Amino acid sequence: MISPIARSDDPGPVTAVRITVLLADRDASRCAACGQSADAAEVAPVPRQCSRLGQVERSSAAGWLLLCGTATTGCRGRVADEPGWARQNGLTVAADRDPAEVPVWHAVHGLVWLDADGGVYPVPDSAGPGRRDAR
Ligand SMILES: [Zn+2]
């Protein structure tokens, strides 16, 4: 089962429900970084941008990924511990970039662009960065 969005990332009750439903469908309820199922691990929607954004930005599914673990464990913990790795793989997005324009190496979909409504668009091999998986 998918855990609720962290209080610190709260996009408001209506948006939170919409994002959780969109992500469960888009990502098959799996962690975007390692592919682990929400049936087997704690998986929750996590924003790709850590800056304080307005409700409008928070309502875009492009700005969210399902990640396993907590702030200190699993893939969510790794994103916090290894910001360079997270940024290279598109798991996080710089505050001045649009998440819809930054491809992500997704465990379920491969290298893709995400859109605001849960759409997934494969990036042609030549257009994206190589996957960086080394620790
Ligand atoms: Zn994971």
Residues 6+ apart with CB under 8 A from 1: 38, 39
Report CA(110)–ligand 1 centroid distance (Å). 14
Residue of 43, 92, 99 lying closest to 66 (CA atoms): 43
Element at 82 (helix H, strand E)? none
Report how far ligand 1's centroid is from the alpha carbon of 68 (Å): 4
- Measure 107 CA to ligand 1 centroid, in angstroms: 9
Tell me how far the alpha carbon of residue 59 lies from the centroid of ligand 1, in angstroms.
Answer: 23
How confident is the prediction along the chain (135 residues), in pLDDT tens digits per residue?
Answer: 899 888 888 888 888 899 999 999 999 999 999 999 999 999 999 999 866 555 446 889 999 999 999 989 999 999 999 999 999 999 999 988 999 999 999 999 999 999 999 999 999 876 555 665 544
> Distance from the CA of 96 to the center of ligand 1, in angstroms?
26
